Amino acid sequence: ISAKTDYAIRAAAELAANSDQTWTKTESVAIAQGIPLPFLLNIFAELRTAGLVQSRRGVDGGYRLARPAADIKVADIIRAVDGPLANVAGSRPEDMEYEGAAARLRDVWVALRATIRGVLESVSLADLTAGYLPDSVMALIEEDDAWTARI
């Protein structure tokens, strides 16, 4: 997960926390989430292009979500700023072809993408701001080795 992706999700969650959907100043999002303002402006431009946020100029302007927070998944934000959830050397996993001992590697990449989708497409911005995670995600983080780094 790149810093850009992390910032984008946090910024979108900050907009989602504004439940009345009033316009939120970029500066307030930057301060609340500790995101450098120039970086945040670029992220919001990408989210706007993807149709996830709206912007308005002027004294009463700022940013807000373009759809209800419950309809925007974490996966949507990642795709908007980073592209596909999983790729191999810039290609889709299903387009890869391997020979010999690595012939089944394509299936591993496809399974990995399915797992990533299963998590990121099940969590909405509304879930994040409510402090809720689906049972399937909770089960993953409750596994004994989920919090253990492997070298």
pLDDT at 134 over 90: yes
**Measured distance CA(50)–CA(31) in Å, rounded:** 24
Global pTM reads 0.89
pLDDT at 95 over 90: no
pLDDT of 1 reads 85
Query: Where are the strands (E) in 15-127, listed by range?
Result: 53-56, 62-65
Mean pLDDT of 109-127: 94
Q: What pLDDT digit, counting tens, does each position of 65-93 carry?
A: 999 999 999 999 999 999 888 888 888 88
In the chain, the percentage of residues whose pLDDT exceeds 70 is: 99
The single-letter code of the amino acid at 68 is P
Torsion from C-alpha of 124, 130, 136, 139, nearest 10 degrees: 140
